[in-house]
Structure formats: structure tokens, C-alpha cells
Chain A
Amino acid sequence: MGNICKSCCGSDDSQNDNDGRNERDPLINGISSRPQGIEPPSGEHSRTGSQVLRKNDEQSALNRILHKAASNVIDVAALDTHGMENHEFTEKAKAYSQKLATAGNVQLKNRSKKRELLPDCTISIERLIAISPLPSSDIDMVRNARLFCFTFEFYFGFRAADDSTIGQRGGSLQTFRGPTYSGPHCRLRNHLIQTFHKGN
């Protein structure tokens, strides 16, 4: 199953960075990050010769296999053994803070400007007043749009944009109440209905 999943999800090699660094490499060199579960064999310095080398090769190969097998096992209980010593922790924290302190300035996003939905007006009042008004054609267009909305509302008895009303009445022309409407705007409404019928 592991092979199938590997083919679906990509090989583990993709986790390595392009510059040859592994994601598990410590950020700071010289400070051991974690206690190693499997230590390489020590000693053997006094012996020389091909026999020793071969033995070392076999041993390291075995260690590699063992390490690989151990890394593929899900071992939640090993969490406790992965903890760092306190002095190691403080040493690394100090090293990081020193590195941050000595690092040069960086260009960061200007977040205060980016998130302004309604920016403050920076133009002075005199200049704001001196700005030419909206063209009359634009104002006429807005007035006509309003008139159309009023016509629609008074003639058909509901607002086009009012979802609740449309939902109640099904949004159909059955909501037409006829010219006997006696609301506060009946005169205007009757006038609009007459104009509409004349137009047709």
C-alpha cells in the first residue's frame, strides 16, 4: 500500500529543497537538535585494513536499514524522547534572537494601506469644493433609474429587489392590485399606470 500511496502522493524525494538541504536539517549548525536513537558505531580506530573497512560498511548499511525502518514506523510514544534539553533549548533560542537582531532590514508588505476599505480623504476642503460636479447626464440617468423602480413597485405591487416580498407573493404578476389602490402615493401610482398603458 505504501508503494501505491507513494505513487499517488509523490515520492519522498520531493520533500528535499532544491539547494540540497533536507527539511529535517537543523537551522543552526553546531547545535545538535535531537538525540539520535541509533548512533553510528564508535571505536575501531586502532584496527586498520580491508577487513575493518568491510565490517564498517556492513555495520553502516545495517544501521541505515534499521534507521529507515524506524523512520517508517508511526511511533507516537516516541514523542517524549524527541524533547530537547533545557540548556539546548535556551541556547538555540538565544542564537535565533541574535541572528534576527543582526539581520538587515527587509521589505515587508504595507498592510495598513492594503486593508483600508474606506480610506480617509486626503484632499483639502477647498479643493474638494472646487472639484467640478457630476455631469447632468449622470444625474438624469440616476433619476430615470429611480423612476423606473417606482414605476415597477407601484404598478406590480412589490419591489423588485425585495426578496421577502417576492417570496411571499411568488414574484408573479398575480400581485397586481389594479387601479383601486388607495395608498399614500395613489395619485402618482395612477398617473404612472396611465402613462404605462398609453405607452402600450
Chain B
Amino acid sequence: MAEELKRSIQEVMKATPGVRGVVIGDRDGVPILRVHDETVPETAFRPGFLSSVGFATDQASKLGHGKARHIISIHERHQMIHFQMDPLILTVIADADANTGILLSLDKELSDVMEAVRIAVQ
């Protein structure tokens, strides 16, 4: 099933300009499924990096503005969007100049993949 899911993610990546990688992980930052090209730095898959998202979301929800649904961070070369899709976290890595609005629609586009992963690992 993993190959099928990866193929599906690759098709979404091909159809969305600027997307370099997609990582599905748990709240502790453990990657469950990841598809990316060679331009994505390996540091993006370190345990500390991915786990910080779940932690940051938890902290942000204490600000009193409700629960954070996604976190966008744009760096020098890449931008990263983390979607909080409990109990999983979907991370999209794209070029810094990619259209962020289009990237924000990827959680809906990949909803079937996320559901399949959730059922498989729970």
C-alpha cells in the first residue's frame, strides 16, 4: 500500500508547481510516509524538526485564539506548510516562491491519502 500512496502523492506533486516534498508524520515528528526530490535538505526530516511542529501548534493554541490548523514558514530557499490533521501532521515542502495559496489546498487534495495512512497506522 505504501507504494500506491507514494505514487498518488507524486502525482499531486507533479500537478502542483513548486512542490518539492511531502511528509506525513505523527505528532512526535516520526515520518510515516515521505516523498521528496533531491533538492529538499535532509535536515527537514530530522526528528527534532518535525516534532517541533506539533509542539509549536500546542503552544500556539494557548494564545487564546483557538487551535492552529496549519503553520507556514518561508525560508531562504524553501517554504514549509504544516497541516495539523490529527493525529497526523502533513508537511508540504515547496520552493520559496511557490504559490502558497495553491499549497494550502493540498490538505484537501491529499485527504484520501491521509485517511488511508491514519487507518493503516492506528
Do A and B actually bind?
A: yes
Is the CB–CB distance between A109 and B62 below 8 Å?
Answer: no
Is the CB–CB distance between A106 and B4 below 8 Å?
Answer: yes
Residues of B within 8 A of A26 (CB): 26, 28
Of listed A21, A26, A83, A100, residue having the most chain B CB within 10 A: A100
> For window 39-54 of chain B, which residues contact chain A by CB distance below 8 Å?
47-48, 51-52
Is the CB–CB distance between A72 and B62 below 8 Å?
Answer: yes
Check B101 for interface membership: any CB of A closer than 8 A: no
Contact of B117 among A83, A100, A104 (CB under 8 A): A100
Residues of B within 8 A of A115 (CB): 15
> In the docked arrangement, what's the CA distance between A127 and B19, Å?
41
- Contact of A9 with B59 at beta-carbon distance under 8 Å, contacts A84-B29, A99-B120 already known: no
- Contact of A100 with B120 at beta-carbon distance under 8 Å, contacts A23-B86, A83-B47, A106-B1 already known: yes
Is the CB–CB distance between A108 and B28 below 8 Å?
Answer: no
Chain B residue with the shortest CB-CB distance to A28:
B121
How would you classify the secondary structure of chain B's contact residues: helix, strand, loop or mixed? helix
Residues of B within 8 A of A72 (CB): 62
> In the docked arrangement, what's the CA distance between A111 and B12, Å?
7
Check B2 for interface membership: any CB of A closer than 8 A: yes
Is the CB–CB distance between A84 and B47 below 8 Å?
Answer: yes
Residues of A within 8 A of B65 (CB): 5, 9
Residues of A within 8 A of B2 (CB): 97, 100-101
- Contact of A96 with B32 at beta-carbon distance under 8 Å, contacts A106-B1, A108-B8 already known: yes
Residues of A within 8 A of B4 (CB): 105-106, 108
> In the docked arrangement, what's the CA distance between A86 and B47, Å?
9
Is the CB–CB distance between B8 and A93 below 8 Å?
Answer: no
Is the CB–CB distance between A100 and B26 below 8 Å?
Answer: no
Check B112 for interface membership: any CB of A closer than 8 A: yes
Starting from the known contacts A23-B87, A101-B1, 6 additional A-B residue pairs (CB-CB under 8 Å) come to A74-B62, A79-B55, A100-B2, A100-B120, A108-B4, A111-B11
* Residues of chain B at the chain A interface (Cβ within 8 Å): 1-2, 4-5, 8, 11-12, 15, 26-33, 47-48, 51-52, 55, 59, 62-67, 86-87, 112-113, 116-117, 119-122
* Residues of chain A at the chain B interface (Cβ within 8 Å): 1-2, 5-6, 8-10, 15, 17, 21, 23-28, 33-34, 72-76, 78-79, 82-84, 86, 89, 92-93, 96-97, 99-101, 103-109, 111-112, 115
Closest 9 CB pairs of A and B: A5-B64, A9-B66, A103-B120, A106-B116, A23-B86, A111-B11, A100-B2, A96-B32, A92-B30
